[in-house]
C-alpha cells in the first residue's frame, strides 16, 4: 500500500512551481489532492492529468470565503481532510523602506501571512474534531535572517514561522502537527512576476535565474521537487514526532560563507595587510 493511500491533501499555489511538484509527489504517493490556485487553466489541466485522484478549486487565499469553500470542497468530494499545505505565494522587487508603497506591503502580507492564517484556521475546523491532521506551511530563509528578500516578504515569512510555532502548540493537543519549510535558492517564475514576459519567455528566464542562485555550499539552486520532498516527509508518519519546527532547506546558504569564498576573502584581507605591513609579514614568513 502507498504511504498516503486514502489520505486527502489540499495544496495551495498548486498549479505551478513548488506546489505543482508537490501535487505530483503527493498523488504518486497515493494521496488524493485538491489543487487550489488562481491559475485556472493550469490548475484544471494538472487535475485532469491526474484523473480521479485530483480536483481543482479556484481559490484566492486572501479571501476567507474562498478558503472556507476550499476545505468544504475537499470534505464534500473526498470525505475528509488529512493534509493542508499552505504554499501559495509570490515575491517582488526589493525597495528601500521609505519607498515601499503600503499597497505592496498589504498585498504580500495578505497572500503570504493572511493566506496561511486562513488555511490553518479552516483546516483546523475540520481536523480538530477528527483529532488528526498535518499542516505544512511554506516560509522562507527570509523569515529567519535579513538580507534574503524584500522588507515586506521578510516580514510576512517571519510571521508564518511565528504562526506555525504558535498554532502547533494549540493544535498538538488535538493530535495535529504544524510545521513550516524555509527554502532558498529555487529557480521558479516567482523571480520574474510583474515583468511583462510571455509564458515561453518566463520558462527561458529560469536558466538565467538558476545561474545566479548557486551562491551556497552546494553550488546550485534547488529544484522545486527537493522542497516538495520535504513537504511530503513532514506530512507523513516518518515525521510523526516533529511539530512546531521551521525546517531550513537552503543548500547551506544560511550556515555562512562558502568555504572557498571565505578563504578567498581571508587571502585578500591578509594580502592587503602584507602590503601595508611588509616588515612584520617578512618576520612572520622567516619563522
Active-site position among 16, 85, 153, 258: 153
Closest CA to 26 of 236, 280, 197: 236
Active-site position among 21, 32, 140, 154: 140
Q: Is 124 exposed, middle or buried (0-12, 13-18, 19+ CB in 10 A)?
A: buried
Distance CA 41, CA 53 (A): 18
SS3 of 246, please? strand
User: Which CA distances in Å does 182 have to 9, 53, 185?
Assistant: 20, 28, 11
Specify whether 241 is catalytic. Answer: no
- Do 52 and 98 form a contact (C-beta atoms < 8 A)? no
Q: What are the start-end ranges of the E strands in 91-204?
A: 133-138, 176-183
Specify whether 153 is catalytic. Answer: yes
Q: Quick one: cell of 285?
A: 614568513
User: Which CA distances in Å does 36 have to 9, 82, 119?
Assistant: 11, 16, 11
Active-site position among 7, 25, 157, 258: 157
Q: What are the start-end ranges of the E strands in 184-249?
A: 246-249
Distance CA 161, CA 157 (A): 6
Q: What are phi and psi of 188, to 5 degrees?
A: -130, 165
Specify whether 148 is catalytic. Answer: no
Which residues are known catalytic residues?
140, 153, 157
Amino acid at each position: 500500500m502507498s504511504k498516503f493511500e486514502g489520505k486527502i491533501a489540499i495544496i495551495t499555489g498548486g498549479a505551478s512551481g513548488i506546489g505543482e511538484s508537490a501535487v505530483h509527489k503527493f498523488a504518486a504517493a497515493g494521496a488524493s489532492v485538491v489543487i487550489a490556485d488562481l491559475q485556472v487553466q493550469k490548475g484544471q489541466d494538472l487535475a485532469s492529468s491526474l484523473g480521479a485522484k485530483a480536483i481543482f478549486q479556484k481559490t484566492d487565499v486572501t479571501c476567507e470565503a474562498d478558503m472556507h469553500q476550499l476545505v468544504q470542497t475537499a470534505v464534500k468530494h473526498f470525505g475528509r481532510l488529512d493534509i493542508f499545505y499552505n504554499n501559495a505565494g509570490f515575491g517582488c522587487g526589493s525597495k528601500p523602506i521609505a519607498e515601499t508603497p503600503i499597497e505592496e506591503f498589504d498585498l504580500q502580507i495578505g497572500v503570504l501571512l493572511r493566506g496561511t492564517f486562513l488555511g490553518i484556521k479552516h483546516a483546523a475546523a475540520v481536523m480538530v474534531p477528527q483529532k488528526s491532521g498535518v499542516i505544512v506551511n511554506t516560509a522562507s530563509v527570509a523569515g529567519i535572517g535579513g538580507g534574503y528578500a524584500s522588507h515586506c516578504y521578510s516580514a510576512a515569512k517571519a510571521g508564518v514561522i511565528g504562526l506555525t510555532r504558535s498554532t502547533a502548540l494549540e493544535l498538538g493537543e488535538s493530535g495535529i502537527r504544524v510545521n513550516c519549510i524555509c527554502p532558498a535558492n529555487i529557480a521558479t517564475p516567482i523571480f520574474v512576476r510583474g515583468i511583462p514576459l510571455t509564458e515561453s519567455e518566463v520558462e527561458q528566464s529560469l536558466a538565467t535565474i538558476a545561474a545566479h542562485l548557486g551562491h551556497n555550499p552546494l553550488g546550485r539552486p534547488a529544484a522545486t521537487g527537493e522542497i516538495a520532498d520535504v513537504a511530503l516527509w513532514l506530512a507523513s508518519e516518518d515525521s510523526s514526532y516533529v511539530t512546531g519546527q521551521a525546517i531550513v532547506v537552503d543548500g547551506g546558504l544560511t550556515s555562512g560563507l562558502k568555504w572557498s569564498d571565505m578563504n578567498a576573502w581571508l587571502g585578500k584581507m591578509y594580502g592587503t595587510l602584507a602590503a601595508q605591513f611588509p616588515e612584520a609579514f617578512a618576520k612572520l614568513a622567516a619563522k
